[in-house]
């Protein structure tokens, strides 16, 4: 199987501080890759580096195309949807407007309208709140909205930054169930950053363990799940 995303020797900086060192990483076509590690390991930085939202060097190959010099907007338009840390809700827009924003860059109106129906099928709760100001949604609903917004871009790759952050366990379960459906039915590949390692290992087929901007180890998720020493040392369970 070919890789949909490949990072080759990527480093990244915040001001003078280097946060990511020479990272190599792959996401398989149709696969889910998880980035695990403690705070400050460089997980979010990796996602930001893919979208060129941080000063970086090295190569990013998306679907056979070098995107390392492209602007964030262009990368998004090529089919990479980033669900950012903090959810990025447009609080003063309604739920519907949050989703319709995708129409701005989509040429295929009919398909986009179909996608809107599909999104509401995934997240019936959002449909109930369609006219509501997005700022009034609960944390879980805002996370759903963020994923829904990303889906509206008809992406081939989704970058998810801690979709479980600050949410009640039941909601987290629901969201991860939906993510699995999106991956399997929608054929969307995913690169996911998660603090909740157990959940992420369930969803992902590949795992990278990061520590202070370096890859400690990587491999199929079963391998990490079965390696008790590794789990205890890095994932705390």
Partner 1 sequence: MEFFIQQTAAGLTSGAIYACVALGLVMIYVSTDHINFAQGEMAMFATYIAWMLIDAGVPFWLAFGLTALIAFVGGLLIQRFILKPLETAPVLALVVCFIALLSIFNALAGMIWSYTIKQFPSPFPQYDISGHGLVSVQQLGVVAVTLVMLGILTVFFRYTTLGLAMRAAAQNASSARLMGVRVSWMLALGWGLAAAIGSIAGMLVAPIVFLDPNMMTGILVYGFAGALVGGIGNPMGAVAGGFIVGVLENLVGSYIIGNELKLTFALVVVVGVLILKPAGLFGQIIVKRV
Considering the complex, state which of residue 142 and residue 164 has its C-beta at the smaller distance from partner 1.
Answer: 142
Ranges of beta strands (E only) in the chain are 3-14, 17-28, 32-36, 55-62, 65-66, 80-83, 157-161, 189-193, 206-211, 214-220
Cross-strand partners of 14: 17
Tokens for 219? 């491999």
Question: Taking the mean position of all CA atoms in its chain, how far away is CA 173?
Answer: 17
Pick the closer one to partner 1 by CB: 38 or 101.
Answer: 101
* CA-wise closest residue to 157 among 69, 82, 66: 82
| Alpha carbon distance 143, 141 (integer Å) | 5
Min dist. Cβ of residue 213 to partner 1 (A): 22
Residue 84: CB minimum distance to partner 1, A: 6
State in angstroms the smallest separation of the CB of 199 from partner 1. Answer: 23
> CB of residue 52 vs partner 1: minimum separation in angstroms?
10
Length reported for the chain: 237
Closer to partner 1 at the Cβ: 1 or 92?
Answer: 92
Bridge partners (DSSP) of residue 62 are 5, 65
Comparison of 158 and 199: residue with beta carbon closer to partner 1 = 158
Q: How far is the CB of 101 from partner 1 (least distance, A)?
A: 5
Q: By C-beta, is 73 or 184 nearer to partner 1?
A: 73
Q: Which is nearer to partner 1, 71 or 185 (CB)?
A: 71
User: Interface with partner 1 by CB under 8 A: which residues?
Assistant: 51, 53, 72-73, 76-77, 81-82, 84, 88-93, 97, 100-105, 149, 153
Q: Are 147 and 174 in contact (CB under 8 A)?
A: no
Which one-letter DSSP state was computed for residue 107?
A: S
Residue 13: exposure state from Cβ atoms within 10 A (0-12, 13-18, ≥19):
middle
Residue listed under structure tokens 């998810």: 160
Residue 129 CB, nearest approach to partner 1 (Å): 18
């Amino acid at each position: 199987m070919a890789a949909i995303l490949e990072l080759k020797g990527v480093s990244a900086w915040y001001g003078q501080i280097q946060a990511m060192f020479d990272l190599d990483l792959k996401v398989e076509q149709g696969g889910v890759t998880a980035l695990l590690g403690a705070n400050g390991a460089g997980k979010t930085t990796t996602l930001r580096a893919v979208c060129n939202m941080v000063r970086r060097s090295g190569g990013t190959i998306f679907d056979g195309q070098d995107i390392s010099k492209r602007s964030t907007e262009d990368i998004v338009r090529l089919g990479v949807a980033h669900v950012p840390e903090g959810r990025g809700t447009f609080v003063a827009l309604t739920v519907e407007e949050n989703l319709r924003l995708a129409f701005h860059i989509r040429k295929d109106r009919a398909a986009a309208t179909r996608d809107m129906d599909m999104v509401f099928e995934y997240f019936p709760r959002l449909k109930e709140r369609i006219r509501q100001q997005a700022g009034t949604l609960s944390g879980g609903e805002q996370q759903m909205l963020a994923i829904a917004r990303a889906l509206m871009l008809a992406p081939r790759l989704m970058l998810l930054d801690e979709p479980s952050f600050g949410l009640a366990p039941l909601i987290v379960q629901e969201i991860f169930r939906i993510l699995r459906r999106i991956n399997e039915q929608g054929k969307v590949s995913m690169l996911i950053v998660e603090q909740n390692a157990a959940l992420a290992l369930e969803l992902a087929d590949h795992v990278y363990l990061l520590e202070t901007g370096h890859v400690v180890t990587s491999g199929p998720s079963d391998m990490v799940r079965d390696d008790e020493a590794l789990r205890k040392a890095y994932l705390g369970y």
